[in-house]
Amino acid sequence: MASLGAFLRLIGAGWTLVRNDALLPRELDGFYSSGVRTAASALRVFATRRDGRPGERLARSLERLGPVAIKLGQLLSTRADIFGRTFAEDLGRLKDKLPPFPTGEARALVEQELGKPVGAVFATFGDPVAAASLAQAHDAMLLEGRRVAVKVLRPGIERRVAADSEVLKLAARLIERLAPPARRLEPMGFALTVVRATELELDLRLEAAGADELAEVMAADGYMSAPKVLWEGVGKRVLTLEWAQGMPLSDEAALEQPGLDRKALAANLTRAFLAQALDHGVFHADLHEGNLFAAAPDRLQAVDFGIIGRLGPTERRYLAEILWGFLRRDYQQVAQVHFDAGYVPAHHSVAAFAQALRAVGEPVFGRAASTIAMSRVLTQLFEITALFDMRLRPELVLLQKTMMTVEGVARRIDPDHDIWAASEPVVRRWIARELSPATRVKRFAGELETAVRNVSRLAAAPPVQPIAVVEPERNGALLWFALGALASGAAFLIGRLL
């Protein structure tokens, strides 16, 4: 049961949006139905702060509502192709330009976490250079002369996140109860995923470990890099990294750097994300412009590793096969993978779903991204998911959210970015490696070894409550029969694979 405080905070959130005319903004009256337009007019009576554009009013509201709401604004700000460039830019300040807290408080927190004076670790410790929803970054210099960025959590942020999380879960429960059509989007599963990811961001020791792991992963391909972790400057509320190379993409001047290859930069972003997810099963799940630094000609460096996404082998295979099917425009294969994965209920027709996918895919293939109305494509996809009873998969929320963010940022870097062409080398490499006959034989051999080991354990285990006495000779015969069946099956499958 939600607390009274959560109900009051949820009402307060709605009131904040209404006061800023950010819930049903007047600029969108032409898109509302007559009933919604009437409701919007009634609510607008209470709007006391109508100054600014819709994006500015929404940014102002989300900033007041707290870190979880700000995360939503950061996601929306990456999709100028859907919501419009002006709206996205107005929300852009939520990425790293929020009001900072005093440097004195930051220094006190650093000393408390590291157990020593700031001067014992840093030669200089400057004012904040960026401030986001959960933390802010300071420009500092180590005693040895190396320039670093020191990330410090906001004071009291744990309590604020806990309160916001309770409100988000309450909102999800109300949506499930009051809006039955929305249940297939798994509001509670989505809310729990967001809450858990945000909770993990509150321990910067975990972020340091994630940054270290992803630095190794990124180095394998070179599409993206990560600053080195300075472990002597790491605590639960403090993280020290080498100074990021380049300019943050949240700075408009970043894309105007001399010698910058915007097309290659956008391609590297898409390939970096896919290589992380497909090849390693771990990916940076917060790749908005405020967390990405660019340098000529096409170098990308990521920061802020608080949200890490992970995929198991099965999810990675489904993702690769879906992308590969789209790349080859094999809609029947894409549809079949959706059914095999359980993304589409089995009572639907694979052929009909393939037909629906063709209706989405064919109009966009071969066209420049700048000519595609992504809002219409997403609307069509949403209608198709409803038609085929597709539900949101909570375990894939971070993947889907990051894919949406990456595509939006890549299109801002290069308005004509072709996400399919950029994806093709990474997906082709994965398919060639993971679905080759040799790899399948190796995988099957591993599964066979596990099966034999399990059968051996079963045969060796003493019976708990035997129903009938079985001769030892027969026990041995059963074991050899099982092993023989496994060997025969192995020979048959290997023959099919080769």
418 is catalytic: no
| Contact in structure between 208 and 231 (CB atoms under 8 Å) | yes
Mean pLDDT, 10 residues at a time, the chain of 498 residues: 78 90 84 83 86 89 86 78 80 83 96 96 95 93 96 94 89 87 81 86 95 96 96 96 95 94 97 96 93 96 93 92 91 95 94 94 78 73 87 82 90 90 92 72 62 70 52 41 39 36
User: Which H or E element spans position 293?
Assistant: strand 292-295
Q: How far is CA 385 from CA 15, 277, 392, in A?
A: 32, 24, 9
At 454, list the tokens.
């399990």
Residue keyed to tokens 């409100």: 167
Please measure the distance between the N-terminal and C-terminal CA atoms of the chain and give it in whole angstroms: 57
d(CA 310, CA 188): 20
Residue keyed to tokens 């898409």: 270
pTM of structure: 0.78
What pLDDT sits at residue 464?
A: 52
Smallest Cα–Cα separation from 171: which of 72, 95, 26? 72
Pairing type for strands 238-242 and 292-295 reads: unpaired
Dihedral pair phi/psi, residue 164, rounded to 5°: -65, -40
Cis-peptide, bond into residue 297, ω within 30° of zero: yes
What pLDDT sits at residue 309?
A: 92
Q: What is the DSSP letter of 308?
A: E
Give the residue extent of every domain in the chain: 4-96, 158-199, 257-435, 437-497
d(CA 230, CA 239): 8
In 93-232, beta strands by DSSP E: 122-131, 135-142, 147-153
21, 90, 286, 304: which one is catalytic?
286
The Cα angle at residue 83 between residues 79 and 88, in degrees rounded to 5: 60
